[in-house]
């Protein structure tokens, strides 16, 4: 029986809520907290049997956050940020999950979350102006608002490789890792995929496995994390300055991370000075490598200087020249695929028990019961790890059968790519909100900064509607068209579209190629959202309860 320790009011007992929230990751939990604080009745549905979202599912060896833990944390409660002790510069997955559980307990969230339950469908009733939400346990509830807190990287993608189902060993997907410990001791393991998940897991699996074969289709740029235990002094320094750190991350940083802002372009420095700056960032480690200069995402010649630096580092670390050459990315400008942050990834290839296989030159032909056949060669393995990524940003939304006005589904509307106004709503789907949806900075930012901004905006909006007697809110078609064009224009002013990335939907066969996140930066985006709200939700139509009833009847 799905867990629910709710103490609902009369309406909620009758299956009628102010809001249904889909997902109990960081977005869903905070959404519940905010709406509950405003006196709304809320039911959260979560497919997993506990909170944590992406951190609940991604338990693969080496999984840890690539944003520093003191910044990858909620800011809405000063008590919470003052009392929680992060142990390392980059928190490992079990610690992030522990934090999510702590938040759920501390704010008593679980009583409104129904676990082990998928939302199967949501249908908008134009007469009642309410959503009917049907779940995997066969129940249907109604709600004024449906809020999709489904996560951008939650829909793990199994690759379509011939013979996979016939493999006789164990097959694991990094995004759907078992809850019980996996021990690769004495085994020959194959890892397919060299994005962030593969790059984090390879050094850890290499330590355990008898032999590890890494199947690489596209080499990726990775920067050392330089992870270390956090000292009390470091934690204190953050805590004392949290007010300014959070303000900067929200309002000034492009990516929601507190860091130095670059004041010059890469070509403004001479070769020696540039190299020194890259060296300093490489030694410091982490995502801020890409903010050493202000034009790395804009100017190919500038970008090449950073890419060359990292390629050179790879050549210095990896002893075998042919392996080093294969690991040097050449297919895309640095940073145009999500840059990876690793702990000893390149050095792992110096181990005698690790082999790199170039499946770009010699594609996987098939998986046979005992291994992987590529380039006419059989690589025998006992276990396979698929680090093959996600149907990102839209995949989890698409799994829910969402029907808006005039019986049109969201999947029909988004068949040529997602269309939203501000990444928050889509025309034709009143009172349906997305948290960190396509068209918002989301995955290009510190996710928690973006989640908090969206949740706060949606919460204010719901309160505003209640205060003004409004029953529905809907993105206007023209505002949506203008926003989609703007998101596109901004993206095409950068180098990002040059990569076959999951940002573009390029990892999913048949998915329309559209740059999905908004690249204008979280500070600018926040300002736009605030301005829209200040102008009475410009670009949205809100309908008062009486008017909308008449409109629906006529
Ligand atoms: O997935 P990916 P990921 N045959 O899509 C390859 C976040 N994240 O799970 O590039 C062979 O990046 C594919 O090859 P190619 C982070 O935002 C964060 O690693 O398509 N190979 C690629 O190498 C990240 O960007 C953290 O040629 C196949 C790999 O699989 C996002 O999640 C940690 C294949 C997939 O890479 C996704 O990362 C981990 C096939 N059929 C993840 N299909 C943090 O630190 C795919 N590939 C917070």
**Run means of pLDDT, 10 residues per run, the chain, 554 residues:** 47 85 98 98 97 97 96 97 97 98 98 97 97 97 98 90 97 96 97 98 98 98 97 96 97 93 96 98 95 96 98 98 98 96 98 98 97 97 97 92 98 95 98 97 96 98 97 98 96 94 90 92 97 98 71 39
Whether 195 is in the pocket of ligand 1, judged by its Cβ within 6 Å, is yes
Give me the pLDDT at residue 253, please: 92
448 CA distance to ligand 1 centroid (A)?
Answer: 21
Residue among 151, 391, 507, 513 to mutate when testing ligand 1 (max atoms within 8 A of CB): 507
Q: How wide is the angle at C-alpha 8 spanned by C-alphas 3 and 14, nearest 5°? A: 95
Q: Are the C-beta atoms of 432 and 146 separated by less than 8 Å?
A: yes
Q: Whose CA is nearest to atom 5 of ligand 1?
A: 389
Q: List the alpha helices (DSSP H) in 162-260.
A: 196-208, 232-240, 242-251
Ligand 1 atom with least separation from CA of 502: 5
Whether 194 is in the pocket of ligand 1, judged by its Cβ within 6 Å, is yes
Give me the pLDDT at residue 461, please: 98
Straight-line distance from the first to the last Cα atom of the chain, in angstroms, rounded to the nearest whole number:
43
Give me the pLDDT at residue 12, please: 65
Whether 200 is in the pocket of ligand 1, judged by its Cβ within 6 Å, is yes
104 CA distance to ligand 1 centroid (A)?
Answer: 29
Give me the pLDDT at residue 551, please: 45
Cross-strand bridge partners of residue 297: none
Whether 227 is in the pocket of ligand 1, judged by its Cβ within 6 Å, is no
Q: Say how far apart CA 267 and CA 443 lie, in whole Å.
A: 28
304 CA distance to ligand 1 centroid (A)?
Answer: 23
Whether 197 is in the pocket of ligand 1, judged by its Cβ within 6 Å, is yes
pTM above 0.85, yes or no: yes
Q: Say how far apart CA 387 and CA 394 lie, in whole Å.
A: 19
Q: Are the C-beta atoms of 77 and 46 separated by less than 8 Å?
A: no
CB atoms within 10 A of CB 381: 23
Give me the pLDDT at residue 4, please: 45
Ligand 1 atom with least separation from CA of 359: 11
Whether 343 is in the pocket of ligand 1, judged by its Cβ within 6 Å, is no
């Amino acid at each position: 029986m799905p867990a629910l320790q709710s103490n609902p009011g009369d309406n909620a007992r009758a299956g009628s809520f102010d809001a249904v929230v889909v997902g109990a990751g960081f977005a869903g939990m905070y959404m519940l907290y905010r709406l509950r604080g405003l006196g709304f009745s809320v039911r959260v549905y979560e497919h997993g049997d506990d909170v944590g979202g992406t951190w609940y599912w991604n338990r693969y060896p080496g999984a840890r956050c690539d944003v520093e833990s003191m910044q990858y944390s909620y800011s809405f409660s000063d008590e919470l940020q003052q009392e929680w002790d992060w142990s390392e510069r980059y928190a490992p997955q079990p610690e992030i999950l522990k934090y999510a559980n702590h938040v759920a307990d501390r704010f008593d969230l679980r009583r409104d979350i129904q676990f082990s339950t998928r939302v199967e469908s949501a249908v908008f009733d134009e007469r009642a102006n309410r959503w009917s939400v049907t779940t995997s346990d066969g129940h249907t509830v109604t709600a004024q608002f449906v809020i999709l807190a489904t996560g951008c990287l939650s829909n793990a993608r199994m690759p379509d490789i011939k013979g996979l189902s016939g493999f006789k060993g164990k097959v694991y997907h990094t995004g759907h890792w078992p809850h019980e410990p996996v021990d690769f001791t004495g085994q020959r393991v194959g890892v397919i995929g060299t994005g962030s998940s593969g790059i984090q897991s390879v050094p850890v699996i290499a330590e355990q496995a008898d032999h590890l074969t890494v199947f690489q289709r596209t080499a990726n740029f990775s920067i050392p994390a330089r992870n270390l235990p956090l000292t009390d002094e470091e934690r204190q320094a953050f805590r004392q300055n949290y007010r300014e750190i959070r303000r900067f991350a929200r309002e000034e940083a492009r990516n929601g991370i507190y860091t130095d802002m670059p004041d010059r372009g890469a070509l403004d420095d001479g070769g020696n000075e540039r190299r020194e700056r890259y060296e300093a960032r490489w030694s410091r480690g982490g995502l801020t490598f890409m903010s050493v200069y202000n034009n790395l995402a804009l100017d190919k010649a500038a970008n090449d200087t950073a890419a060359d630096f990292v390629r050179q580092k790879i050549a210095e670390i990896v002893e075998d020249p042919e392996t080093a050459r294969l690991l040097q990315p050449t297919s895309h400008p640095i940073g145009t695929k999500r840059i990876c942050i690793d702990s000893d990834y390149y050095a792992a290839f110096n181990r005698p028990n690790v082999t790199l296989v170039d499946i770009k030159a010699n594609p996987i032909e098939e998986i046979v019961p005992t291994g992987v056949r590529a380039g006419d060669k059989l690589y025998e393995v006992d276990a396979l790890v698929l680090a093959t990524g996600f149907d990102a940003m839209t995949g989890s939304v698409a799994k829910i059968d969402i029907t808006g006005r005039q019986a049109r589904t969201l999947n029909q509307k988004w068949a040529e790519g997602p269309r939203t106004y501000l990444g928050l709503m889509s025309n034709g789907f009143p009172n349906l909100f997305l948290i960190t949806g396509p068209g918002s900075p989301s995955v290009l930012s510190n996710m928690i900064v973006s989640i908090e901004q969206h949740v706060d905006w949606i919460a204010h909006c719901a309160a505003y509607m209640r205060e003004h007697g409004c029953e529905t809110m809907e993105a206007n078609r023209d505002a949506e068209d203008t926003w989609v064009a703007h998101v596109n224009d901004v993206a095409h002013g950068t180098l990002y579209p040059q990569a076959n990335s999951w940002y573009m939907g390029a990892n999913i066969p048949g998915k329309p190629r559209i740059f999905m996140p908004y690249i204008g930066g979280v500070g600018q985006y926040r300002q736009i959202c605030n301005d829209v709200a200040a102008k009475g939700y410009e670009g949205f139509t809100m309908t008062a309860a009486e008017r909308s009833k008449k409109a629906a009847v006529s």
